[in-house]
């Protein structure tokens, strides 16, 4: 932008210089037009002014070319600035989208973790309940086994007692039979006719 301002200022300064030279040529031609030496001098001045004008035109063309180049550079810079702005806008939008995706993913992970914790607690409670049932069944089984052992022991004792009583009853039966035989023999001795 500064280069464009300097170029424009140079152009106006050049135009002012050309205008002053033209005014001087006009004044010279009005006052000295009747002398041949002045005509030659004026012709020389005109030639010099024409040469200066050509130089100024070349300078103006050069400045115009520089101005065009500067304007093209400015347009390119503005285009680059616009492209950079568009790129920044896209990057900002992508960054916001990434933030939203990360937020959604984090929320989903937290929900999944909460469900996993809840399932773990529920599973732990169910496992504890099942373990309690198994322990109760084991205690019941042990009690039943103890009861069965006690019953077996009682049966064994009853069987032993019954066996002992059977032996005693066999002995009593034999003793009764012997008594009956003795009693019969005595009766025969007392009553021989029987």
CA count, 13 A, side-chain hemisphere, 141: 6
Encoded tokens for 169: 């009853």
CA–CA separation, 115 and 121 (whole Å):
10
CB crowding 6-16: b at 16 or more within 10 Å, else e:
ebeebeeebee
pLDDT at 34: 42
pLDDT at 39: 56
- Residue 82: other Cβ atoms inside 10 A: 10
Q: Tell me the pTM.
A: 0.35
Given a cut of 70, whether residue 30 has pLDDT beyond it is no
pLDDT in tens, 43-53: 777 777 778 77
Encoded tokens for 38: 């002045």
CA–CA separation, 98 and 145 (whole Å):
68
SS3 164: helix
SS3 194: coil
Instruction: Report residue 125 CA to chain centroid gap.
Output: 32
DSSP 119-132: HHHHHHHHHHHHHH
pLDDT in tens, 70-106: 888 888 888 888 888 888 888 988 989 999 999 999 9
Is residue 31 a contact partner of residue 17, using CB atoms and an 8 Å limit? no
CA distances in angstroms from 18 to 25, 28, 42, 48, 71, listed in the order given: 11, 15, 16, 12, 26
pLDDT in tens, 174-194: 888 888 887 777 777 776 655
């Amino acid at each position: 932008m500064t280069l464009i301002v300097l170029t424009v200022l140079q152009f106006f300064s050049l135009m002012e210089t050309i205008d002053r030279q033209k005014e001087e040529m006009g004044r010279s031609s009005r006052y000295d037009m009747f002398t041949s030496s002045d005509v030659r001098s004026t012709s020389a001045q005109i030639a010099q002014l024409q040469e200066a004008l050509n130089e100024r035109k070349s300078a103006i063309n050069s400045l115009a070319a520089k101005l065009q180049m500067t304007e093209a550079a400015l347009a390119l810079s503005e285009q680059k600035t616009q492209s950079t702005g568009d790129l920044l806008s896209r990057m900002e939008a992508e960054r916001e989208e990434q933030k939203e995706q990360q937020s959604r993913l984090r929320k989903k992970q937290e929900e999944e973790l909460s469900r996993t914790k809840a399932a773990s607690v529920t599973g732990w409670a169910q496992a504890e309940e099942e373990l309690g049932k198994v322990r109760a069944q084991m205690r019941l089984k042990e009690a039943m086994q103890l009861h069965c052992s006690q019953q077996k022991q009682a049966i064994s004792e009853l069987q032993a007692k019954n066996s002992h009583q059977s032996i005693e009853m066999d002995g009593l039966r034999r003793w009764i039979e012997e008594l009956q035989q003795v009693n019969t023999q005595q009766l025969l001795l007392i009553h021989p006719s029987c």
